Every structure is written in C-alpha cells, then in structure tokens.
Structure 1
C-alpha cells in the first residue's frame, strides 16, 4: 500500500511531517539565498528546478526500482542542474527587471510542460509507489519508510546543504560572487569572467533546489504541476526576505517561520494568506534586515550582560 495512504488512514497521520516539510523548505530557501543574498540575482523561477528534480524522481522511480535511492538522487540532481545550466545560460544575458521576468517566464514554461502534456500524469500529477532504499557497502543502514530514519535523512541533507554552501561562500568563488553582487563592473574590470561565475552560482543553486525537490517527492509520494508554479518561487523568496537576505542562518530561520506560521494561520481561518501577508509586511517594516537581525540583537545583548 502506498505510504501516503497509510499515513492518511493512521490515527496519528505521518508523525513528524511538519518537521520534514520545514527542513525541505529550508533547503529550498538556502538554494535561493545563494542567488539573492550573495550573488544579487533575484529569480522568480526557482521552483522550476525544485519541480524538475521531483518529476525526474517520479519518472525514473519505476525503472530504478526500490533499491536504487542513490541512482534516483543523482538523476534528480542531474536533471535540476542541467535545467539550471540551460536556463541560466540564457537569462543571465539580461539584467534588472528583465532578468526577473525572464526567470519567471522559463518557470512558467516548465509548469505548462508538466501541466498541459501527458508527461507524468499531466495536470493530475503522478504517484511514486515506493520510497527508495539507500544501500551502503551492501548494507541498509537506514530505512526511509521508518519515520525516524527519514527524519534523520532530511536533517542530514539540511546540514550538508548549509555546510556545502558555507564552503562555497568561503572559497574564492564565493568571494567573487559577493564582489559581483556589490559591483559587477568593477569585478569585470579586475579580470573576472562575471558571466561564468554567475552561471556557476545558478547551477549550484539549481542543484540544491533539486535536492529539496527530490526529498519532497519521496516524502509525499506524489508530485503535480503546482510545485512548479510561480507561487512556489514566491514562497521561497518570502522565506529569504523574512529571514534576512545574505545569511544562511536567515534562510533557515525564514523557512521555519514561514512554514510554521502558514500551518498555524491555516488552522485559524481559510483566509490565512491575509494573516501571513500582514505578518510579512510588519516583520519587514520593523526588521528590514530580516528575523536574523532580531536573533543577532538578542545574542549581542546576552553577550553584553555576561560581561
């Protein structure tokens, strides 16, 4: 029986599902943070890479079989990275508002490919009827059908994402991206091939978004075209803005706040988007540098009191 059906029929449906969702969205927000916060590229089409990886997982799953979790992961990341490479090579030739609109246009193209064709179920989407297994040297160290094991898998992916992006940002490549964000013309005059650096950042960000899409697919066991819509990209952007642009911790904090508040507001009223919109407006007005600035202020205050 499909695991989502089991969860739906259980007395305590899918324990830990909120934690899974929060961490997966945190990975998604972190991937966009690399573009917005560190490279200065405001993309409204980031959901395309998330959706590409999720659909690649759903399409390849029957052929790969339940024992090939690593193969599915590589295929999903490869599909997301390839799409990011193709799209980035084109959209990075534009600037400003044109860049934002072109990224949105490409994302909508991906949405309509999945929505209006028979690929993976069309507008109805498609199911994944088993969770993949991850073998290691012939052993099965964990079982993703187990709630606890899957929780640690997603948490490990989040930790690796933070660590991987931190390494990237501390490298010469990362410093070049920050320099391009602040003054691209000066970086170009200094001899940096800014287009290649931006394209590299685009591919890295798309790959990490693909990781989030892969985990989303095996979490829910179902994908549909809505995950490629502009709403999904907008949500990721709100997470980055809410948490604080230019901070990995801010992206994680923004994702946690956004997802948990959305779940809470939805229990209060069916018009929960109004509450969420109001909260984001107030938060941005009071904390223009995001929620992370509040956390930093509290930390500095405690440090001062300890002295």
Structure 2
C-alpha cells in the first residue's frame, strides 16, 4: 500500500497544484510556471528517446521548432485560429519530419546517430533562418492567439494567461499519462529491451528498427506539441528554436533530473528554469547576473557530479520499500 501511495501520490499532487496555482500566482509567476510546464513537455518527449529507448539525439529541437512554426504559419492573420486544429497541425508537421529524419538516421548508431540527427536539425534551422519561408532571422509573429470555441463562445482563449496555464497543465498531464502507458505496454517493454541489448531483441524476433522509428515519431510529435505551446504563449517564433543549443539544453534538462524516470524530466525542467531565473537576477546574485551562463554551467556541473543519477535520486532514496 505504501509503495502504491508513493507511486501515485506525487503525480496526483502535481495535478492539484497545476489546477490551483494559476488562481494564486502573480502574472510574473504565472509566466514562470508556464515556462516550466512547456519545457517539461519538451523534456518528456526527449525522455522517450534517451531514457526509454537509449537513442541520444542532438536534433530534437527541430521538431520543437517545426511545431511552433506550423502553429504561426497556419494561423489566420486577422482572426483567432482553431486551437485543436493548430495543435493537430503542429503535432502532424513535427511527426512527419520525425518520420523522415528517423527513417534515415536510424540506419546509424552511437555517435553517428547523434551527428546525423544534429545535421538534420541544422538543415531545418537554416531553411527557416536563410529563407523567407519563416520570416528569416526576424521570425514570425502570431497576431491573434488560438482559441477553442463552441457555438461562437470561446471556451479556451490562450491570450488569457490563466487559461493558457490550465491548457498547458492539461497537456503536460496528458503527455505524462501517454508516456506512462507506453512504458507499461508491450511496446514500452520492447523499447526498454532495445536500450539494454538491441542485438538480443532482434534475435528474439523483434523488428527493432520499426520500434525505434515509432518511438522517434512519437517523441517528435510530442516535441511539436511543446512548440505549439511556446508559440501560443509567446506569440512569436524564430529560427533559434531549432538550433542545436535548444537540443543540448533539453538533453541537459533530462540528465539533470535523472534519465529513465518521467519524474526526472519534470524535475529537471523545474530546476533548470528556476536556476536560470535566480542566477540572472541581479537582486539575488549581484554582478554575477551578467554572467549567468557561466554560473549556471558551474552549478549544473556540480549537480551532475554530486548526483550522477540525477535529482530524482533524492526522491527515490526515500522511497518506501515494498
């Protein structure tokens, strides 16, 4: 009973917090929480690849950026776009590019796979950066935020910060639930087996390449969902969303939180956003705020050195034994 309560307690508590916090927080803290939630969705999408399947990708930001650009480019210029339609478009465009990239990159392994995914991400980056397709270096603006309307009445308006938070929170919970279901399914167990010993799984009759491709496409689609949230939140997208810096940052997030655990991805997102905010605030760290990238790097190195299994290890160390 204690183990069951521990397993379901933190997620249930998190859902309650996500539902109540928008009513209690100031606009600044609402924006901070929204950044945490969107990064957590992005991190969970990569966790499926790295933590579950053992595929380390340095091009995951391509799907994130494509989802964001699809949201803006397919939105009406002078009216609110359909929230479900734009969300589906972001997921679909990201999934299609993930299918293309995965079908080619999964022919390689190890460091070669890392470099090929990076190359495809940089290719997508330069398409948006160097052409007029996505506004070039200036990016694109979302003139009117998407809404979910029924009978002419807006049920969800993403221009309202509280409603945006509830939407993002619901999508985070849905992403967590989907990945938890995948991990418990036969498909998820096959992915775990591929991570441990792909050759043995292939000898047992599993079409490992198809399994990895399916995981790659699902992860890409979920990254596109995170891109949709960022586009709806900020009302602006630019090519830097597809850069290798973004891919490296989200990889750092899941390592910081702890690979192999969904809670680790979320905990890493919370910690990463809070560290960036605290270390760049002059009122807290003084002149060091001008060099927050340096202090952030040193802090994360210290965390990883002291907690090689991630921050989630602090929680699991207190987990009751069955």
Within the candidate set 241, 244, 252, 1:238 is matched to 252
Answering whether residue 294 of structure 2 is matched by residue 280 of structure 1, we say: no
**Residue ranges of structure 1 left out of the alignment (5+ in a row):** 1-11
Instruction: Say yes or no: does 1:167 pair with 2:181.
Output: yes
Question: Displacement of 1:62 after TM fit?
Answer: 1.8
Contact between 2:78 and 2:143, CA under 8 Å: does it hold in 1?
no
State the Cα distance separating 1:138 from its structure 2 match. 6.4
Using the TM superposition, give the Cα deviation of residue 95 of structure 1 relative to its aligned residue in structure 2, in angstroms. Answer: 0.6
> Which SS does the other structure have where 2:149 is aligned?
strand
Paired with 2:290 and 2:100, the residues of 1 have a C-alpha distance of: 39
Selected match of 2:148 from 134, 153, 161: 134
The TM-score with structure 2 as length reference comes to 0.87
Could you tell me the TM-score, scaled by structure 1's length? 0.91
SS across alignment from 2:154: strand
Q: 2:40, 2:200 → 1: CA distance?
A: 33
Deviation string for 1:106-137 (max 9, x for gaps)?
11111100000001211110100111111357
Per-residue CA shift, 1:147-200, capped at 9, x if unaligned?
Answer: 211111111111001001111111111100000000000000000000000000
Q: Distance in 2 between matches of 1:126 and 1:23?
A: 23
**Superposition deviation, residue 144 in structure 1:** 2.1
Structure 2 residue runs without a partner (length 5+): 1-25
Q: CA deviation at 1:142?
A: 2.8
Larger CA deviation: 259-268 vs 64-73 = 64-73
8 A Cα contact 2:59 2:120, kept in partner: yes
Q: Distance in 2 between matches of 1:191 and 1:138?
A: 53
Q: Where does residue 289 of structure 1 map in the other structure? A: 309
Residue 112 (structure 2) aligns with: 98
Larger mean CA deviation between 263-272 and 109-118 belongs to 263-272
Aligned length: 290
Paired residue for 1:32?
46
Q: What secondary structure is seen at the aligned counterpart in 2 of 1:245? A: coil
**Whole-Å Cα distance in 2 between the matches of residues 62 and 137 of structure 1?**
19
2:77–2:143: 8 Å Cα contact kept in structure 1? no
Cα distance, 1:68 vs structure 2 = 1.1
Q: 8 Å contact 1:58–1:120 — kept in the other structure?
A: no
Aligned positions of 1:14-93 closer than 5 A: 16-62=30-76, 65-93=79-107
Partner deviation per Cα, 1:25-73 (whole Å, 9 max, x = no partner): 0000000000000100000000000000000111100279414111111
Give distance in 2, aligned partners of 1:58 and 1:67. Answer: 9
